[in-house]
Amino acid sequence: MASETLTLECRHCEAGNRIPVERALKDLRAILCGRCAGRLLRVDGERLSDLTDDDLAHPWDREALAKLRAVPMADKLLSRVFSGTLDKVARFRHLAGAVRVSDQQLPTLHRLHLEAAHRLDVEAPPLFVSQSPVLNAFAVGAGTPFVTITSALVDSLEDRELVAVLGHELTHIRLGHTLYRTLALIMIQGGLGVADRMLGIAGLLATPVKVALMRWYQMSELSADRGGLLAVGDIDVHVRTEMKLAGGTSRFAAELDPQAFIDQAREADEARDQDVLLHVMELLDSSNRSHP
């Protein structure tokens, strides 16, 4: 069967080019216009200035967010949660207990952060590094969002992989995810007791809101993964990053195989699709899981 192709219009001379998808994915930089030999794809950190939020957001993200916003009391709940209090507390905790990245503090990481923001055409928010043995990154804050990555993540990933992670988190900010995601993080981390004492919100967080919130939270990750891929501009790097986050090891990093990881993911999909029990259990588990 012939390889799948796509037609791209050259942004330099407007000539149409038919490109085999499989060949394009092997080396995005090698895809050149047949007429003027200009690069058809914007790689190497070039700003994606005409990228729209609709281009970036995954359809499942948009659908789930619409359902969440349709839940009665959801907007009232969020307005009560984020009256300026939790944002201030979160930012203060990071100022007091993490390292804020800048051109003077961790300048290499700062440069990678600015690269990802430039690529996605978004203003770079504050970036913090938090001491933790867990590989993790998150974007929080309703009015003034910021990004945090853990020390273990920085130590485990290469520079290009960090760009992918930072692009992922910046996409959450660009698409306005942080308001709902901060509430979800509080719920996941068991912080509702404190939040309720401060703001009286637990009674408002009914089961339908919880289910809709967690379902959307997972779907928003699909959009953010799109942003991470666009930020780094290299599908191999992006897959390798996801693999390391799933179960990477610094000791045997050279022995990790991205293709084997992809095959494993497909095997999991097939197992779920062919077994009703697995499918049902996955649905039941979705309310307690942050990622799809």
The pLDDT of residue 1 is 41
What are the b/e assignments for 157-172, b being 16+ CB within 10 Å? beebbbbbbbbbbbbb
Q: Token pair of 8, please? A: 């791209």
Backbone region of residue 84 per phi and psi (left: phi > 0; alpha: psi in -120 to 50; beta: other values): left
Say whether pLDDT at 81 is over 70.
no
Q: Which CA distances in Å does 132 have to 86, 153, 207?
A: 22, 9, 32
Q: pLDDT band for 204, please (50, 70, 90 cuts).
A: very low
Give the confidence band of 89 by pLDDT, cuts at 50, 70, 90. confident
**Which run of H or of E encompasses 62?**
helix 59-70
Average pLDDT taken over every residue of the chain? 83
Residue 78 pLDDT: 66
Q: Which has the closest alpha carbon to 216: 70, 81, 55?
A: 70
Between 254 and 96, the higher pLDDT residue: 96
Active-site positions? Answer: 169
**What pLDDT is stored for residue 249 in this prediction?**
84
d(CA 164, CA 153): 12
Length, in residues, of the chain: 292
List the single range of 90-99, 123-132, 138-147, 197-206 with lowest mean pLDDT. 197-206
Q: How far apart, in Å, are the Cα atoms of 245 and each of 158, 160, 250, 269, 287?
A: 12, 14, 11, 19, 21
Mean pLDDT of 150-168: 96
Q: Which residue has the higher pLDDT, 78 or 124?
A: 124
288 pLDDT above the threshold of 60: no
| β-pair type (99-100, 5-9) | unpaired
Confidence of residue 73 (pLDDT cuts 50, 70, 90): low
Q: Do 71 and 212 touch, CB atoms closer than 8 A? A: yes
Separation of alpha carbons 240 and 244, rounded Å: 6
Task: Give residue-wise pLDDT tens across range 105-154.
Answer: 999 999 999 999 999 999 999 999 999 999 999 998 877 889 999 999 99
pLDDT for position 185: 67
Give the pLDDT mean for 244-272.
90
The arithmetic mean of pLDDT across residues 30-35, rounded, is 90
pTM (two decimals): 0.82
- The stretch 30-39 carries a mean pLDDT of 90
Phi, psi of 142 (to 5 degrees): -85, -55
